[in-house]
Amino acid sequence: MSWHEERRSDIESNLQKILELLREYEHNLILEDDPGKSSAIRDKIAGLKVKMNECQNDLDSLEKTKQPERDLALKMTNINYDDMNFVIAALLRQKIDIIDNQSIVPPTNPKEKMSKNGLTSNIAFLLRCGMASAGEVRHLIENNAKINFPDVPEKLRATLNAEYIRLRKAGIYGDDLFKHLHEFSSCKSSDASWRAAGLAILCYFFESCDVFEP
């Protein structure tokens, strides 16, 4: 089952529970004679209707994001080295104040790291897509370091980390932070190939604990 199917199933399950409770409260309201208790039941019914609308909005939002994410996932299966090299070169040209000396830490379980960084299930699909190409990113970065410049891995890490720190200082966190970093790692391009390359690079550094809280 894909992330979208799991998410849809969860929302529909919650919606069903809300509807069952709503029917129960409406039945109790008909039988209740005490004005105080009737008022409390009406409040509960109103709260459930709000939650029901939220579930419907979540379903609508899920449908809107489904196709772009499918397109990105499809592109990730055929990621182009030329596009990835272009994105890496663009990131290396970024001017940063300091090449930060954050120490390398052992990789953390992705689910634990998502929780520590306030990332929700809305980002899980993107992470799975990006981390599936982590091996290719590692191979490309290591080859760049051997053939061209030995400090390519460190400069890439420092560039992404500097942007991460800038965004955190601006009060951006969680899913929004990940999306902003994806925009940055994709050179703010709408081109599907560059966005796929940018996502792969960002997720490689996420997995290796070089960006985001470990």
CA 51: distance to chain centroid?
A: 24
Buried-state track 22-36, b at ≥16 Cβ within 10 A, e below 16: beebeeebeebeeee
- Over residues 103-122, the pLDDT tens digits come to 444 556 777 888 889 888 77
Q: Are 21 and 48 in contact (CB under 8 A)?
A: yes
> Is residue 68's pLDDT more than 70?
no
Higher-pLDDT residue of 75, 134: 134
DSSP per position, 143-173: HHHHHT-TTHHHHHHHHHHHHHHHHHHTT--
What 185-189 contacts at long range (C-beta under 8 Å, 24+ apart), as own/partner pairs, is: 185/87, 185/91, 185/160, 186/87, 187/87, 187/90, 187/91
pLDDT of residue 99: 46
- Over residues 144-200, the pLDDT tens digits come to 666 666 677 888 888 999 999 999 999 999 989 999 999 999 988 888 888 888 998
**Domain layout of the chain by residue ranges:** 3-64, 77-207
> Is residue 18's pLDDT more than 60?
yes
